Amino acid sequence: MVVPDARGATRLSSAVRVWKKVEADAIHFFPGLRYFRFSESPESVADLESAVTGPESGATTHLYNSLNQLMKEGPAGGYVESSV
């Protein structure tokens, strides 16, 4: 995520650039939008900048550990898709 490619861009910086283009629409359609930092367990943070920076930022995202934790702590019956 943080190793630069031949253009000097990282996967993380590319993903953030794309997200910033659609963030306003996402907030409009999903007003309950929340940001998380994928550390050893998912950590709720205030905004995108906090999600991509912090003490646990580095070469790994711990994505699978975080997703497993979210699923274990999920509501009975699972998560429900929001209709827009």
pLDDT digits (tens, 9 = 90+) for 16-62: 999 999 999 999 998 888 898 877 777 889 999 888 886 655 556 67
Look at residue 1 and tell me if it is in a domain. Answer: no
* Contacting residues for 81 by C-beta, under 8 A, at least 6 apart: none
Domain membership of residue 31 (yes or no) is yes
- Whether residue 36 is contained in a domain is answered as yes
Residue with tokens 């490619």: 5
Please check whether residue 79 lies inside any domain of the structure.
no
In the predicted model, what is the mean pLDDT of residues 7-20?
86
The sign of the torsion formed by the CA atoms of 81, 56, 41, 62 equals positive
- For residue 26, the model assigns a pLDDT of 92
Q: Strand pairing partners for 43?
A: 37
Residue 81 belongs to a domain: no
pLDDT for residue 5 is more than 80? no
Which domain, by its residues, includes 28? 11-72
Answer yes or no: is 38 within a domain. yes
Judge whether 33 and 27 are in contact, CB under 8 Å. Answer: yes
Q: Does the residue 3 lie in any domain?
A: no
Count of the separate structural domains present in the chain: 1
